[in-house]
Amino acid sequence: MNRFKVILKFLLDQKSTIGYSLMALFTLGGERVFNRVSFQCPCNHQQNFAYGLTFLLGPAVVLLVLGLFLSTRFWKLFTGCCLNPKKLLPKKNNCDSLPELMSVFWGACVVPIMWLCIALMSGTFYECAASGLKKHLVVDHFCKNKTIKCLEELAQVPCERSKLPSEERAELRLMFKAQSQILGWSIIIIAVVAALLGICLRYSCSEVSYLQLTFWKHYMEKEKEHLNTFTVKYASKLAKRNIKSFFENKPPGLFPLQTHEAWKKIS
């Protein structure tokens, strides 16, 4: 039993690492599934760009919204801000909410950026989008040193039925893939460096020391836990009392209830 407890404690300590790894795995799996089952480049000049971009950005937007949905802090910020607009406006004396909102937003951005990187690494979406670009500077760059047919047939490259010589087609596909992966790596590098700088900035402006911050983090976690159990317990007690008093036709006994003000204060 002791060994089992040790392992469980270790897993709970590494909670967020495991969570992010699982999310990365799910994102990777999702990309594979989309790629196999759903994605099929239309291979014509008008649609390629829009189609590829939709598959690149669509899931990213959905994941961003999902991330905001699942964020408790986001709902804490927004709840009641319509009746009490002071809460969101940053120009007032209490300007806590804008950095808070930014931090919630960046937290929700982690999974969409994962998706973008994984999708760009695999390269098929970008290939479809890039091959549908209009004949401009970019396309001339793709077809430099190649036959004139290249310009006409560029949109057909992602499909099997291109009329280009197979060698030239393979070259173009490799080029698209390389561009896509370079773009993916650039996004990863920019994201991690920006995250590091942002968190550095936030920590460096904090008034309290690192150890105290650790203490408050533990405190918040514990508070949330206890609040949950207490809420369930009290809600159950209150409901029982009210229903009992209804069935027995008696006025309900007294129950210590908190006012709205008290609830607002602890939020």
- Residue 76's nearest CA partner among 95, 35, 102, 104 is 104
Q: What Å distances lie between residue 190 and 50, 107, 199, 240, CA to CA? A: 25, 16, 14, 55
Residue count, binding to its own copies (CB under 8 A): 96
Contact (CB, 8 A) for 116 and 183? no
Taking CB under 8 A as the binding criterion, the range among 18-26, 48-56, 94-102 that sits at the site for its own copies is: 48-56
Distance CA 24, CA 262 (A): 41
42 is an interface residue for its own copies by CB under 8 A: yes
Q: Which of residues 164-203 bind its own copies (CB under 8 A)?
A: 167, 170-171, 174-175, 177-179, 181-182, 185-186, 188-189, 192-193, 195-196, 199-201, 203
10 is an interface residue for its own copies by CB under 8 A: no
Kindly tell me which residue out of 18, 22, 25, 40 binds its own copies, with binding defined by CB under 8 A.
40
Taking CB under 8 A as the binding criterion, the range among 19-27, 78-86, 89-97, 98-106 that sits at the site for its own copies is: 78-86
Kindly tell me which residue out of 66, 89, 102, 138 binds its own copies, with binding defined by CB under 8 A.
66
Q: Give the nearest distance from C-beta 154 to its own copies in angstroms.
A: 15
96 is an interface residue for its own copies by CB under 8 A: no
23 is an interface residue for its own copies by CB under 8 A: no
Kindly tell me which residue out of 12, 137, 148, 208 binds its own copies, with binding defined by CB under 8 A.
208
Distance CA 39, CA 52 (A): 9
Phi, psi (deg, nearest 5) at residue 259: -80, 165
Burial of 209 (0-12, 13-18, 19+ CB in 10 A): exposed
Owner of token pair 């009290």: 234
Kindly tell me which residue out of 16, 72, 93, 94 binds its own copies, with binding defined by CB under 8 A.
72
- Residue 116's nearest CA partner among 156, 60, 39, 200 is 60
Q: Which of residues 215-254 bind its own copies (CB under 8 A)?
A: 215, 218-219, 221-223, 225-227, 230-232, 234-236, 238-240, 242-244, 246-249
148 is an interface residue for its own copies by CB under 8 A: no
Kindly tell me which residue out of 93, 136, 210, 253 binds its own copies, with binding defined by CB under 8 A.
210
DSSP 46: T
Distance CA 103, CA 5 (A): 34
